Structure 1
Amino acid sequence: MTLLFIMIAAIAVPATGIWLSETNTPPAEQEPTVDVVRTDTQKTESVPLESYVAGVVAAEMPASFEKEALKAQAVAARTFILTQTLKGNDVTDTVDDQVYKDEQDQKNMWGSEYEENKGKIEEAARETEGKILVYNNEPITAAFFSSGNGQTENSEDYWQSAEPYLISVASPWDKEAPNFEQEVELPKQEAEEKLGVSLPDSGVIGDVTQRTAGGRIASITIEGKSFTGREVRELLDLPSADFQMIADGTEVVVKTKGYGHGVGMSQYGANGMAKEGKTYEEITAYYYPGASLEEASVFLTR
């Protein structure tokens, strides 16, 4: 089970329990730690909370982004790990939770830019230290994604679970993302096998019967079989649930907008807002309407 806890003792002599302090009084509370299951070794590592947050920001957001966007990501990462801990969930270093890269991973990723990028990201984490997002006196599910189609998604339209702070908002900055529009080509036979249908040799595939508040496909009928947009996205491993499929002989060309599930904070949207001079407080307030910034320590000591 993942543990996030306050370590009260710093260094004590095990045999006597005497604090190694000139005044013989307990030291101040140390930083909380996070237990992370590392996929390469399948071993659990205990990581100081703020080091973990910086490692998530390093893995989840380009270091070239504006600092206020990095700070917004740090708050989201810190909030996410707290909610998982309070639920008693194990946490991995993958997209199943949130990606985490340690110091060696960062050196491998950044090479000669390691020191500069590390300093920038650690500063972003430090300047938001302890800050989390709260709604109705509880830490929120701080969902985030790479880029959208110009609009974020209501949580119930993707996860069938409504959260008042995960509602559709305009995200026009997404259009500047390099992955805003993409084309995915699949062998027609592969697409047929994954969808369980026979596809035509040419033309637009499917009849969109409903769209979500965020403009993604809510439901689509393909050759008489009904799917949700999320189902097609996951079956065909598409970047987004905002897509159009076209049959072209032995190939299926899928045109998509955005990258990710679309719920919560758009990372490219956050960067766009930061470029316009918005602070991390304004960015998180925009993408998580109604949520407020609070101190994590309040929840760690309940």
Structure 2
Amino acid sequence: MLKTAPTELRVLLQETEGLLVVNCPSGAVISDDSDTPLYTVPAGWDLVFKRNEYGVLAVNGEWLRCTWVRIKPREDGDGPPRVTVKGSPYRGSLTVRSTTTGTLQAINRIEVEDYLRGVLPKETYANWPPEALKSQAVVSRSYALARMSDDPDAAFHLRADTSSQVYGGYFAEDPRTNDAVAATAGEVLAYGGRIVTTFFSSCCGGHTAAIDDIWPNVERRPFFSGVECDWCTASTSHDWEYTLDFDRLAHALAAAGYTTESPTGLRLRTNARTGRVRYVVFSLGSGDELELPGDEFRRLVGYGELKSTYFDIARVTEGGLVLEGHGYGHGVGLCQWGSRGMAEAGFTYKEIINHYYPGAGIAQWDALWPMEPRPTS
């Protein structure tokens, strides 16, 4: 159980089997895994890390007696202390870690609110209305802290890409999104005394998805049951068409190990209330059928090609089908374009959040500690 509210997130920035290069614009102190200072790094130096077969680290050719180190940048009066990884500077400090799988990891250790400064400009548009930006701040904070609370002692809690939330670091920050972070400081979405893992996507296309529409084995909660949305019509992805080619689909099914037979047709099993395709049933040449979850079908076709599982069959073509669909993304939780539309119509960020996550409420995250482990069933 977490006894006190943590203030630091750990975000994986890079993982490599080769060399890992870190730069310290203002200089830094390198400490070992017992927090004993090892080196003082001059301003602007590159630190080149490698590992041996036993996982022991070396920096700039000098072997250390540890498998991970912490790099704490110094203050220089020119902005906040920061470290640079792959050309991008980040607030906070950095852990360089040798893993048991033979890789090196660069992990940013950063305060929650500073992390959000680097997330919001990457996950939304800074020129959107302030209330939409505030709703994104609460949602992104909730997502990050829920992930952290699942395993607070993990080497890292989040990745810096779309598998978690896109995190751009210091250079990504924008005063408008920074204001949204500050205006909602510490606020998260909560249900039953726990922080909600607040999924969100670009555009729902008119109705958000129930969570089990997308991930059938996940228990549905009231705030993930799906709601109507009349606010996202400005998105260019609100309505779309996609031509599905059966030959290409056959290659994708074979490559994934599902079947070597070519599909001759398909039918959809849809949630009539949300419009989401829950399962796609393929007719095969042998007369057999193959059933896949809708989101797995979308993954096989390509998430960038088939924009959502909110679609229907429009017409048959030579060797395929034309699908008519709505929205972009999985559709669970906040509709980002819908939040923009609601903000433009005068709704507050709290009203926006209450619409997309019915039954949950906004709370200060440190007031939710101590927290019991999240149920596994």
TM-score by length of 2: 0.63
SS of the residue corresponding to residue 235 of structure 1 reads helix
Greater gyration radius: 2
* 1:79-126 CA distance string (max 9 Å, x none): 11111111115211111111111123x2xxxxxxx7xxx110000110
Structure 1 residue 50, shift from structure 2 partner: 0.9
Q: Which blocks of at least 5 consecutive residues in structure 2 are unaligned?
A: 15-84, 87-104, 254-258, 284-288, 372-377
Q: What is the aligned counterpart of 2:13 among 38, 63, 69?
A: 38
Using the aligned pairs only, state the percent identity.
27
Structure 1 residue 142, shift from structure 2 partner: 0.8
User: 1:284, 1:191 → 2: CA distance?
Assistant: 38
User: 1:49, 1:297 → 2: CA distance?
Assistant: 12
Residue 235 (str. 1) matches residue 235 (str. 2): no
Structure 1 residue 183, shift from structure 2 partner: 3.5
SS of the residue corresponding to residue 289 of structure 1 reads coil
Residue 213 (str. 1) matches residue 278 (str. 2): no
What corresponds to 1:20 in structure 2? Answer: none
Contact 2:213 2:276 in 1 (8 A): no
Corresponding residue pairs, total = 259
Structure 1 residue 145, shift from structure 2 partner: 0.7
Residues 68-83 of structure 1 aligned to structure 2 (within 5 Å)? 68-83=131-146
Residue 278 (str. 1) matches residue 347 (str. 2): yes
Q: Which blocks of at least 5 consecutive residues in structure 1 are unaligned?
A: 7-31, 107-113
What corresponds to 1:172 in structure 2? Answer: 230
More displaced 10-residue stretch of structure 1: 176-185 or 231-240: 176-185
Per chain length, whose mean CA-contact separation is higher, i.e. which structure has more relative contact order (CA < 8 Å, sep 6+)? Answer: 1
Structure 1 residue 173, shift from structure 2 partner: 1.5
* 1:3-29 CA distance string (max 9 Å, x none): x965xxxxxxxxxxxxxxxxxxxxxxx
Contact 1:153 1:212 in 2 (8 A): no
User: 1:298, 1:150 → 2: CA distance?
Assistant: 35
Structure 1 residue 231, shift from structure 2 partner: 2.0
What corresponds to 1:269 in structure 2? Answer: 338
C-alpha RMSD of the superposition: 2.3
TM-score by length of 1: 0.78
Residues 241-260 of structure 1 aligned to structure 2 (within 5 Å)? 241-244=309-312, 248-249=317-318, 253-260=322-329
SS of the residue corresponding to residue 190 of structure 1 reads helix
Structure 1 residue 209, shift from structure 2 partner: 3.4
What corresponds to 1:24 in structure 2? Answer: none
Residue 189 (str. 1) matches residue 224 (str. 2): no
Structure 1 residue 181, shift from structure 2 partner: 2.2
Structure 1 residue 255, shift from structure 2 partner: 3.7
More helix by share: 1
User: 2:212, 2:183 → 1: CA distance?
Assistant: 33
Contact 1:265 1:284 in 2 (8 A): yes
Contact 2:232 2:238 in 1 (8 A): yes
Contact 1:212 1:218 in 2 (8 A): no
Structure 1 residue 292, shift from structure 2 partner: 1.1
Contact 1:56 1:99 in 2 (8 A): yes
User: 1:252, 1:287 → 2: CA distance?
Assistant: 33
* 1:146-204 CA distance string (max 9 Å, x none): 1012001111222232122111110121222111123445654221121344245xxxx
Contact 1:150 1:174 in 2 (8 A): yes
